[in-house]
Amino acid sequence: MIEIKNIMKQFQNETAIEYKDMTFETGKSYMLLGASGCGKSTLLNMIAGILTPTKGSIVIDGVETSKQSQRERDKFRIQNIGYIFQDFKLLNDMTVMDNINILRLENVDTSNAVQLLKNLGIEEKKNSKIKHLSGGQKQRVAIVRALVKKPDIILADEPTGNLNFAIGEQVIKELVEISQGKTLIAVTHDERLAKYFDEVIDMNEMTDGRRDLYGEEVK
């Protein structure tokens, strides 16, 4: 279970986002939607321990991760969290397999990578360099890289943003299937995908953005 308690995140440019309390239960899938800039990626980054909240706490299975050291949070993320980043974070000059096998440096067992690539229909690209792939193919590699460690928590930031609806729908079905018994939190703007999730959370209602430096409303 992931608990979000009294969280506020302030950035150096003075953008500040307050989050209402939320609980994400183990075994459930959640779809997050909301306007650009309302704080969806920031929430995922705080759950993943990449960003720390300015105020409040994040508690994962009873452990207040927001109080841990960065090193402890990194270790927890590597072992337990599969994060599909909005911008993929793949290494462009390396092949698909190398991008996945690099996780072995962190002691991740990558033996089911080919099966996952097959499930997502990109097995034939396994020896291609990332820079030679289309946006949708990169997206699917990012998904395989996040899932290969069989994580307990899956964070997916617009995992279908670069896919057409049919493939995107397939990917969401696959993600939900793989997430059985785990926690899946996925950001997507496509309301047609809502039916595949246990819960849909409108982040516009869960966040309160204050003004940034330029005086623009954050949300």
User: Among residue numbers 56 through 95, which ones bind Mg ion (CB under 5 A)?
Assistant: 86
User: Among residue numbers 196 through 215, which ones bind ligand ATP (CB under 6 A)?
Assistant: 212
Nearer to ligand ATP (CB atom), residue 38 or residue 117: 38
Burial 6-34 (b: 16+ CB within 10 A, else e): ebebeeeeebbbbbeebebeeebbbbbbb
Nearer to ligand ATP (CB atom), residue 40 or residue 77: 40
Least CB distance from residue 58 to ligand ATP, whole Å? 15
Nearer to ligand ATP (CB atom), residue 181 or residue 215: 215
Alpha helices in the chain (DSSP H): 40-47, 70-80, 96-101, 113-119, 135-147, 165-178, 203-206
**Among ligand ATP, Mg ion, none, what does residue 42 contact (CB within 5–8 Å per kind)?**
ligand ATP
Least CB distance from residue 188 to ligand ATP, whole Å? 10
- Binding ligand ATP by CB under 6 A: which of 4, 7, 39, 188? 39
Where are the strands (E) in the chain, listed by range? Answer: 2-10, 16-19, 22-24, 29-33, 55-60, 63-64, 81-84, 153-157, 183-187, 199-202, 207-209
Check residue 41 for interaction with Mg ion (CB under 5 A): yes
